Chain A
Amino acid sequence: MTTTTKPVKKKNWFVRLMNMDTSGSKGSGEKLPLYRQLGIQLLCILITIEVMFPILYIITLSLSSTGVRPSKLELFPKEISLVAFKEVLTRPTANPVDFITLLRNSALLSITVGLVSLLVAVTAAYAFARFKFKLRQVLMIMVFIPLLMPAVGLSTPLFLLMNSFRLVNCPGGVTAFYPFTACDAGAFGKVIFNLRDSLLGVGIAMISTALPFAVWNLKGYLDTIPKELEEAASIDGADSNQVFWQIVLPLALPQLAVTFFLGFIGYWQEFLLPWLFLTKPEDYTLAMTLYNMTGQYANSIPWNRFAAMAIIVALPVAIVYVILQKQIVSGLTAGGVKG
């Protein structure tokens, strides 16, 4: 784009197009000339095609009744059949697991991890936001360090830690709880429960990164609540516990909900830890199933079923996102990581 201060008349089309008023829709002013309007509309339609291309493609695939892979490009469904959805809902994988179990596992993990981390985090966030104490800086950095670490960074020690908790049926008929009690030396029993290979273990491991996130996010919000209300309450004789439970917590409720849903969006897609930890098909989550449908062993999966599954996995997140769009964008951009 060239800088120009001359009148727009004798410019080529590109400069004319770039020379438009970009100052926003508010206020009066001259109407947009038609050729410029049409130029912009053309660009907007091209961008719309770019955005809609994969979406239309996957919807078309999911609505086809045959699992045959498409031999030529189809972006609009020729038929509307819910066979693929029905098949996915009745028998999502080659394993004997039904859809409800997968859904339950995904929902259980994402909702409990979100709730537990929130409940544990809220008092700590309040302490960081309101109290002045000696170790404040040090402890805040300690909470911040896990946030810097990419999720995969903690997966090795968490795997080993969870793997060390096992219930074993020893040969003598005794049950040993590793690592606290063990079978007799040299004797190997049958493992009846491995914390690592369970949803509980995955959930605990997920909290290790969910908790610092919740503390940090809530602290950022509590910082913005004006202190006057709390000061008024304490002048009226409320002690700080009452201030927290009766003034701050009700005020922070909307932000608690936003933090929960922000977490939910992430944990719903959580793949890394479950895929590393879990081996039993009845513990699988929707994200793992989706991966199974595209991985190297997926050549037998009909694409209409894959498409249906992709839509089902995307739906809850998309709904939450659309409802909370404003809060999410402002939460991500304004003061996300500030000390």
Chain B
Amino acid sequence: MAIKPVTVRRKTDLRRVFQPYLYLLPAFLVLSVITFYPLVYQVIISFTDFQTKDLLLGLNSPKLQFIGLQNYKQIIFGGLPVQNFEFIRVLFYNLWWAITNVMVHVPAGVLIAVLLNVKGVWFKKIYRAIYVLPVVIPPIVVGTVWRNIFNEQYGAMNQALTWIVQLFGSDTVVHLRWLESYTPPIPWLLPTGALPLAYYAMMIANFWLGWPFMTLVATGALQSIPRELYEAAEIDGASKTYQFLHVTVPLLRPAMIPAAMYGFTLSFNLFNFVYFMTGGGPSRMTEILVTFAYDLVRNLRLYGVAGAFAVIIFFVAIAIFLITNKLTRATESYAES
């Protein structure tokens, strides 16, 4: 691409061929030691029964046994020495968790952005400044704070509910066991495994965390819609509702679909928030794939199984990436046509 002086000698030619690789060298040296090598190592140990006993000598350990695909089989079909874990249930719960989050965050975010975009609303700037607050607070803090809010005895949620109930003349004290209860409020909702009360608590907390980001994105997109489109629609006699559905929504779509896909991937792998809020409990009912993978390494110390599990997660992640990418691309071409 660079325009070179006319006299090209053999030496500079060679230099130009190797120059890109010279620029890539530092990054790839580092990556090969701490990223690519571990990735390969991971695949190797996923075929072994690597455990604490092998920590000292690693792959040279005499006790280390290659057991083929046994780890993978045990993860998917059962047989792991782990309680309350069924792969299919956790996978479906994880997908359900990500989908329901996005399905709530995106419409709420768009509606609130639209609400704040109405011409002539008072205190618009103040509201916008307040509504961005959840975005700036780290998820680990959000998770711990909401964990306290949902505490059975002293938590703010039960106290707020008690306050509301007493407002209606009742003197009951609400004692919902938000994060500990096993009995699902709606047993039939997810056929692969019931959703405990903790799921709803996490939905509430993550709703608080999630919609402001969507509002932020939607506000930016709303402000880039040309005013002339509305004027033209006005002249054609379209009502405000018609304008919303046929001008605002289609023009928001190119911005909101990537944001929704980003939100989906983020919720699907929302490690910090889930780990800090419930730790996957009660009895792994709110466990997602990444928190279980972490439990395999950190507490159960089944390194071989954890390696296999990470390989499985990797394929799930690739599948999700390909699907979301395809959806995003499809809507892009829709926006251009």
Contact = CB atoms under 8 A, between A and B. Distances in A.
Interface of A: 1-6, 8, 15, 18-27, 29, 31-32, 37, 40-41, 43-44, 47-48, 50-55, 57-58, 69-73, 120-121, 123-124, 126-128, 130-133, 136, 139, 142-143, 145-146, 148-161, 163-164, 179, 204-205, 207-209, 211-212, 215, 227, 230-231, 234-235, 237, 240, 243-244, 265, 268-269, 271-272, 275-276, 287, 290-291, 293-295, 303, 306-307, 310, 313-314, 317-318, 321-322, 325, 329-330, 332-333, 336-337
Provide the main secondary structure of the chain A interface: helix
Given A148-B321, A152-B293, A275-B298, A23 B243 contact: yes
Nearest to A207: B34
Contacts of A235: 3
A44 B17 contact: no
Interface of B: 1-5, 17, 19-21, 23-24, 26-28, 30-31, 34-39, 41-42, 45, 50, 55, 58, 112, 114-124, 127, 130-142, 144-149, 153-154, 156, 159-160, 162-163, 208, 212, 216-217, 220, 222-223, 225, 227, 230, 237-245, 248, 255, 258-259, 262, 269, 271-272, 275-276, 279, 289-291, 293-294, 296-298, 303, 306-307, 310, 313-314, 317-318, 321, 325
B20 A127 contact: yes
A85 to B, nearest CB: 15
Nearest to B318: A148
A44 B126 CA distance: 10
Contacts of A157: 37-39, 41-42, 45, 307
Given A123-B26, A336-B262, A4 B239 contact: yes
A143 B216 CA distance: 30
Nearest to B247: A23
A5 B237 contact: yes
B241 A2 contact: yes
A163 B217 CA distance: 43
B148 A8 contact: no
Interface of chain B: mostly helix, strand, loop or mixed: helix
B140 A269 contact: yes
A93 B145 CA distance: 18
Given A3-B242, A24-B222, A124-B28, A44 B119 contact: no
Contact of B310 (A4, A156, A211): A156
A124 B26 contact: yes
A184 B314 CA distance: 40
A330 B255 CA distance: 11
Nearest to B151: A69
Contacts of B289: 150
B327 to A, nearest CB: 13
A53 B208 CA distance: 10
B241 A269 contact: no
B117 A25 contact: yes
B314 A149 contact: yes
A61 to B, nearest CB: 8
A282 to B, nearest CB: 20
